[in-house]
A and B are shown apart, each in its own frame.
Chain A
Amino acid sequence: MARYDRAITVFSPDGHLFQVEYALEAVRKGNAAVGVRGTDAVVLAVEKKSTPKLQDSRSARKIVSLDNHIALACAGLKADARVLINKARIECQSHRLTLEDPVTVEYITRYIAGLQQKYTQSGGVRPFGLSTLIVGFDPYTRIPSLYQTDPSGTFSAWKANATGRNSNSIREFLEKNYKETSGQETVKLAIRALLEVVESGGKNIEVAVMTREEGGLRQLEEAEIDAIVAEIEAEKAAAEAAKKGPSKET
């Protein structure tokens, strides 16, 4: 027992926590995940690496519900994700039991981030190797939110963000193209952002939406995603043609 109380995450001479930074590396190798906050909808889209033919895809869902009004997607070590998600789900119900109120998005984000931080300052454990994107609508106010947490335990709110593989390119795209959207436009923006780094097609993307009126998380069917992707490609082609058109006439 004495051997396992030594900390794994310790400071380096120049003030780095290498274990945390290595955990962030693990996140960078994980599947790309995008989150976008609209005025009345929040969207999560995750890259789906080619599904093995024999696998039941329903058991490998990457976007999960924490409660009726909160959803989570993550990039990094999926087994670590299971542990965090389980604890978060318990906390959601525990909060309802003791406070007779559902959690706010910020509360559960703070809780998850708190857990991630705890594992950077405890003996014998390593940090969780994942960053999460948490979306939802606060109870009563119904204000939409998107939050991100990372292995260090920091969290912040975003209008749109990405994590995992090529997240920098996706974030650049979002910074250039973000505007306040609602409903289907928000879904399109999220998918367009993800398509920057992912092969086009419904079978390579998993998308889920939560709207203010509907409540609850709705996973989009492959056919629906294909349809939206087709729309996006058509819009892109039209934009290309418009660019080339005028120069031909001169």
Chain B
Amino acid sequence: MECVFGLVGNGFAIVAADTSAVHSILLHKNNEDKIMVLDSHKLVAASGEPGDRVQFTEYVQKNVSLYKFRNGIPLTTAAAANFTRGELATALRKNPYSVNILMAGYDNESGASLYYIDYIATLHKVDKGAFGYGSYFSLSTMDRHYRSDMSVEEAIELVDKCILEIRSRLVVAPPNFVIKIVDKDGARDYAWRQSVKDVTTAVV
């Protein structure tokens, strides 16, 4: 049910994630931010078991910080992705984390990059990637319209196309999405796409 997808553009990478926190048939909240700012120039969009998602990504975030203080320079996106994959692999045959991750980052030397890391520690460097049932729709849409070196506006158009496809074709489509971007100026929120705002108490 959780939809996470992302793509690399011209000097930037964009990731989008749904914002529903679900427990069986109950929706806890519809504004859960599943894209973590790992450090100044990295984003981690994660989907999967809610407890594992938060615990694992926070663990990676603190270890990435520790590296920066120990060594005086931050990790590259590739190094952070490989570290994350290593942790998933180590835990896999003991106490696996059920978390799928799209890691987006910008490095001055190598530009923008996106890494696909699934819960059994598969690691791929990709131009576009997606997780969840939504991936059937977003991946196909991206395959049709994606070009390398898209501008931010073009990429957002494509992201919105994917969200539209998910909303119209996925039977339990999540109503709201968050979009974040990372480029040379850092990792930050880009926009929210909300079709259902928070329900307020009815006026009597």
Contact surface of A with B, Cβ cutoff 8 Å: 65-67, 86, 89-90, 92-94, 96-97
Q: Within the assembled complex, what's the spacing in Å between the Cα atoms of A94 and B65?
A: 11
Which 6 A/B pairs are nearest by Cβ-Cβ distance? A93-B62, A97-B62, A93-B66, A89-B69, A93-B65, A96-B62
Find out whether the CB atom of B62 lies under 8 angstroms from the CB atom of A86.
no
Interface of B is mostly: helix
Within 8 A of A (CB), among B75-132: none
Find out whether the CB atom of B70 lies under 8 angstroms from the CB atom of A93.
no
- Write the nearest CB–CB distance from A93 to chain B, whole angstroms: 4
Q: Within the assembled complex, what's the spacing in Å between the Cα atoms of A45 and B69?
A: 20
Binary contact track B39-81/A, C-beta < 8 Å → 1, others 0: 0000000000000000000110011011001100000000000
Contact surface of B with A, Cβ cutoff 8 Å: 58-59, 62-63, 65-66, 69-70
- Write the nearest CB–CB distance from A81 to chain B, whole angstroms: 14
Residue of A66, A86, A93 touching B63 (CB-CB under 8 A): A93
Find out whether the CB atom of B69 lies under 8 angstroms from the CB atom of A94.
no
Chain B residues, Cβ within 8 Å of A67? 69
Q: Within the assembled complex, what's the spacing in Å between the Cα atoms of A90 and B59?
A: 12
Chain B residues, Cβ within 8 Å of A86? 70
CB nearest neighbor in B for A58: B72
- Write the nearest CB–CB distance from A84 to chain B, whole angstroms: 13
Chain B residues, Cβ within 8 Å of A94? 62
Q: Within the assembled complex, what's the spacing in Å between the Cα atoms of A145 and B58?
A: 28
Q: List 12 A-B contacts (CB under 8 A).
A: A66-B69, A67-B69, A90-B66, A92-B69, A93-B65, A93-B66, A93-B69, A94-B62, A96-B62, A96-B65, A97-B58, A97-B62
- New A-B pairs, 18, CB < 8 Å, besides A93-B62, A94-B62: A65-B69, A66-B69, A67-B69, A86-B70, A89-B66, A89-B69, A89-B70, A90-B66, A92-B69, A93-B63, A93-B65, A93-B66, A93-B69, A96-B62, A96-B65, A97-B58, A97-B59, A97-B62
Chain A residues, Cβ within 8 Å of B69? 65-67, 89, 92-93
Which of B58, B69, B70 is packed against the most chain A CB atoms within 10 Å? B69
Chain A residues, Cβ within 8 Å of B63? 93
